[in-house]
Structure 1
Amino acid sequence: MLTFPNAKINIGLYITGKRNDGYHNLETVFYPVPFRDALELIDAADSASSLSLSGLAVAGDRESNLVWRAYNLLQTAFPKLVKPLQIRLHKIIPMGAGMGGGSADAAFMLNMLNEYFRLGLDDDTLESYALQLGSDCPFFIRNRPAFAAGRGELLEPLALDLSGYNIQLVCPLLHVSTALAFSGVKPAPAPFDLRRIDTLSPEEWKAHIRNDFEDTVMAQYPVLRDIKEQLYQQGAVYASMSGSGSSLYGIFSQGSKATIHSTVPFTTFCSRPD
């Protein structure tokens, strides 16, 4: 079985409060984009499961990998049904880029195991398993636009459709510390209710919607601010950092995109390539 876990972008991101568990409450919109890893399952040749990695480097050991943890989670829950597998993950989505690549891999793994072994789990149950793996993971179970609150796990579906636009992703080869991103944020009520995002056109978002992490992160990495400015200068109707960075995106009319120049190596991808 072969699937292609996709990335997401954050449209708006407000840090609204500090929680008693040490995390922060946030409000954001998750929107899936067709920038994908590849994940394959085949029956194990013997009684031992394995995980092989290719593509971009993945930090950490096998036990900390979210795909491996997703497999172990359902294998522990259903030991008579979930059999040994050879798992192959090819990474295209950069780690630490604010696009949820690891979370997507984990959620797609849960969905694949559910189908492959006919576990019969509904989406609500799969989301509860996904939450054990990470705050962003439940979003990728249904994988459709959603308003997210809490730590990102409280999801409300949104009727948001950007298929008429070109979304250009720019992924500088920088790792932004999440601790750094939070260090300059003072939690406050969201100035705009992102549940109402569909009442505005993307052309209006710049005046109403922001990412609270940008000021702190871009002060530390001015190259990110420069890339954002290039996106706007070359016609983006809206541009933003995704999550805590380092990836950025620009939303363009169909057929348009930016030519980016940067002192930092980067990759770029368009949802509607010419």
Structure 2
Amino acid sequence: MLLFPNCKINIGLRVVAKRTDGYHDIETVMYPVRGLCDALEILPDATDDISFTSSGLETGVDPERNICVRAYRAFREACPIGGVRMHLHKTIPMGAGLGGGSADAALTIKGLAELFGVPLTAEQMIRLAAQVGSDVPFFIDGRPTLVTGRGEILAPVAGSPIGHRLVIVKPDESVSTAEAYAGVAPARPESRLGDLFGLPLRQWKGRIVNDFETSVFRIHPTIAAIKEELYRAGALYASMSGSGSAVYGIFEERTPDLPAFEGMFVYQEDMI
């Protein structure tokens, strides 16, 4: 079985409250990026355990701690399944706020259910995904979604920038989630993000915000400069995704000229 976990961007991200369990309540719209994918192969194995290998971009973690392995162990604890051989080829940049690892975990859960014929509903898979990581539940379905709680409460969202050009830029530097949260003071926003997302795209600037930008931009001026350059290049809306370091711009239906980002990771696609 060969699967292609795709990443996401965050359109707005408000840190609403600190929870007693150590997590934070958030409010964000997660929007799928269809063409920027990892590749995940899952094959049955007679060893009754998991054998995991990876290639492509370095994950920087021991194989046993990889999120795909953790997803397998969580699945196996909930459902009796056999062993597998799993290979992950990483293409989605890490430390970017694009959710590549969460996507890998979600597709692991969906793939295991299909491979072993386990009749899980989408809601059951979402509950299982929430045990693995905060952003993982979104990728079970992967449609534009209003995400609240610590990432496990999902709701449909009205509105979409379909037909526009998405540009994602990531510098060499990365931002850890812990670093991003350390500089944020949780607060409940005056306007609901779901309502703001339904506004015309040209009205998003200044209204739809990412709470992480203030502290991350102060520590990483290169990331702030990318956002400014995307606006100079004609973006209708630009923002850091998640806790960074990737920044995206949404343009009219054209391929913008972006010479300022030479040497950085740049990805473009039409939003669908």
> Could you state the TM-score of these two structures normalised by the residue count of structure 2?
0.94
**SS at structure 1 position matched to 2:132:** coil
Q: Aligned equivalents of 1:76 and 1:95: distance in 2?
A: 28
Shift of 1:47: 5.1
Q: Aligned equivalents of 1:272 and 1:148: distance in 2?
A: 23
1:269 maps to a residue whose letter is Y
1:20 corresponding residue in structure 2 = 20
**Quick check: 2:46–2:82 contact (8 Å CA) kept in 1?**
no
Per-residue CA deviations over 1:133-170 (Å, capped at 9, x if unaligned) read 01111110111111111112111111333331111111
1:159 maps to a residue whose letter is A
Per-residue CA deviations over 1:66-105 (Å, capped at 9, x if unaligned) read 11111122223333xx222211100011121101110000
Q: Is the deviation greater in 142-151 or in 185-194? A: 185-194
1:187 corresponding residue in structure 2 = 186
**Quick check: 1:230–1:260 contact (8 Å CA) kept in 2?**
no
1:11 corresponding residue in structure 2 = 11
**Quick check: 1:227–1:260 contact (8 Å CA) kept in 2?**
no
**Quick check: 1:66–1:133 contact (8 Å CA) kept in 2?**
yes
Q: Aligned equivalents of 1:218 and 1:76: distance in 2?
A: 41
2:70 corresponding residue in structure 1 = 69
Q: Is the deviation greater in 62-71 or in 251-260? A: 251-260
Q: Aligned equivalents of 1:214 and 1:38: distance in 2?
A: 30
Indicate how the Cα distance of structure 1 residues 218 and 154 shifts in structure 2: closer, same or farther if over 3 A, else same.
same
1:2 corresponding residue in structure 2 = 2
Are 1:270 and 2:271 an aligned pair?
Answer: no
Indicate how the Cα distance of structure 1 residues 24 and 226 shifts in structure 2: closer, same or farther if over 3 A, else same.
same
Q: Is the deviation greater in 191-200 or in 149-158? A: 191-200
> Could you state the TM-score of these two structures normalised by the residue count of structure 1?
0.93
Q: Is the deviation greater in 6-15 or in 185-194? A: 185-194
CA-based RMSD of the aligned residues comes to: 1.8
Shift of 1:203: 1.2
Are 1:149 and 2:148 an aligned pair?
Answer: yes
- Segments of structure 2 that go 5 or more residues without pairing to the other structure are none
Number of residue-to-residue matches in the alignment: 270
**Quick check: 2:236–2:251 contact (8 Å CA) kept in 1?**
yes
Q: Aligned equivalents of 1:42 and 1:232: distance in 2?
A: 45
**Quick check: 1:147–1:157 contact (8 Å CA) kept in 2?**
yes
**SS at structure 1 position matched to 2:134:** coil
**Quick check: 2:27–2:149 contact (8 Å CA) kept in 1?**
yes
Indicate how the Cα distance of structure 1 residues 184 and 141 shifts in structure 2: closer, same or farther if over 3 A, else same.
same
Q: Is the deviation greater in 52-61 or in 249-258? A: 249-258
